[in-house]
Amino acid sequence: MSLDDISIKVADLHSIGSLDALLNEIASHLTRFIATGETAMIDLKSLPFSPAEYESLRTALGRGEVSARLETIGDSELYETHYSGVWWVTHYNVEGDVIADLIEIAEVPAILHSQPEDVRDGLERLQHTLSQTK
């Protein structure tokens, strides 16, 4: 008997209802974002999704035009979904495990912005380099 002899059936759990609930939640956040500019985040790890529902969510949101990658304490993947202003942000640790999985409703995910502290540090380093080459 080989592994192929064990039949595998993907469970169809699409109709559970949590997916629709989440899409409605995203729609209401988007409405508010358009009206007031207020951003929002949804923690996907707090939702009781079946693996099939999670995949359905990926399909439902699709992929849009922009994607970005952070390389810091493990990778992070960020992309705009098929719906502009709705971003999927997944943070990994160095071992590649998901440590945070978020839907962010914003112009740009907050973590992509340069941080003032880092900018100041950068300037210091640049000035230091310049002073050495004088």
Across 86-113, b (16+ Cβ under 10 Å) vs e yields bbbbebbeeeeeeeebbbbbbeebeebe
Compute the least distance from the CB of residue 134 to another protein, in Å. 25
Among candidates 101, 7, 9, which has minimal Cα distance to 54? 101
Compute the least distance from the CB of residue 133 to another protein, in Å. 22
> Among 76, 85, 86, 87, which residue interacts with another protein (rule: CB under 8 A)?
76
Helix (H), strand (E), coil (C) string for 21-42: HHHHHHHHHHHHHHHHCCCEEE
20 in contact with another protein (CB under 8 A): yes
40 in contact with another protein (CB under 8 A): yes
User: What is the binding site for another protein (CB under 8 A)?
Assistant: 9, 11, 13, 16-18, 20-22, 24-25, 28, 38-43, 45-51, 53, 70, 72-74, 76, 91, 93-102, 110-111, 114-118, 121
